[in-house]
Amino acid sequence: MPEMTLIEAVRQAMDEELARDDRVFVTGEDVGRRGGVFRATLGLFEKYGPGRIIDSPLAELSIVGIGVGAALYGLRPICEIQFADFIHPAFNQIVNEAAKMYYRSNGEWLVPLVIRAPYGGGISGGLYHSQSVEAFFAHVPGLKVVIPSNPRDAKGLLKSAVRDPNPVVFFEPKKGYRLIKGEVPEGEYTVPIGPANVSRPGRDLSVFAYGMMHYYCLKAAGTLAGEGIDVEVVDLRTLYPVDKAAILESVRKTGKALVVYEDNLTMGYGAEVAAILADEAFTSLDAPVKRLAAPDVPAVPFSHPFQEWFMPNPDKIAAAMRELAAY
């Protein structure tokens, strides 16, 4: 299998879906000749033309609003939001329109829409180019929320998202765009939206993560393996709908749980995982459910030392794993 970066896998998924289905189009800021600010659409404008790779104005509510209308008309839009930090002007279109259309119409109106956005910190982007906003959207029934952690899943999950009859918010860990590499199968394949994946089996404790934090958790688990601590790492992949069965199965085996995410700690996505375990796996727990996340400050600082203080990293994760294993 060929090896590629996460951003290459995202680009290949869009390329294949554009070739497969002429209803698919991409729109967003600078997605055309420039190929996007992260080059996710590089080469697609030349291949598919301005009618399917469409540069938009700097207006996120219009990008998504047009996407909702086009999806209702029967097209398959992929709307790129340049940074997840900029998605908030489109919150009404995503939450009040796209997410509720199927429900309000008793299943008559479908919105096969994909909203892609790079999220997360660690790139020295400061306050407005580093935010993690997944918890806002994972709260909304009617939306699927997907965050891949590796190239294989990025391609397969994005292809599934394009083919889904209802809206999918697809966040991509921007720090991992060129850092994370992996083998990607040749030929046609998809990865189903919904199921989590046990990326590293273990017996001593379970760690749940997604996106860039999953990559860091695997590194930390490798470190602890040399210390005789066997960590099971579960890649959640789909934040909503939640794969409760996979979460519960893992903790019922290991008895201990750590949830890692780079959003602010309070009311972040890890709180939902902790609640599921407290509610449905209480008698299997040998220790309190622990969370490792960013501190409760408004955003990732621009200063490099403060950024390192804010962001979870493999060393911090390994320390939290040791503490939980010793409980």
Q: Are 292 and 259 in contact (CB under 8 A)?
A: yes
Q: How far, in Å, CA of 216 to CA of 213, rounded?
A: 5
Instruction: Provide the pairing of β-strand 197-200 with 231-235.
Output: antiparallel
DSSP letter assigned to residue 40: T
Residue corresponding to tokens 């934090």: 213
Q: Decide if 304 is catalytic.
A: no
Q: How far, in Å, CA of 144 to CA of 238, rounded?
A: 8
Instruction: Provide the pairing of β-strand 3-5 with 181-183.
Output: antiparallel
Catalytic residue among 129, 139, 214, 304: 129
Q: Are 166 and 110 in contact (CB under 8 A)?
A: yes
Q: What is the DSSP string of 219-258?
A: HHHHHHHTTT--EEEEE--EEES--HHHHHHHHHHHS-EE
Least Cα distance to 68 among 107, 115, 14, 136 occurs for 115
Name the residues annotated as catalytic: 129
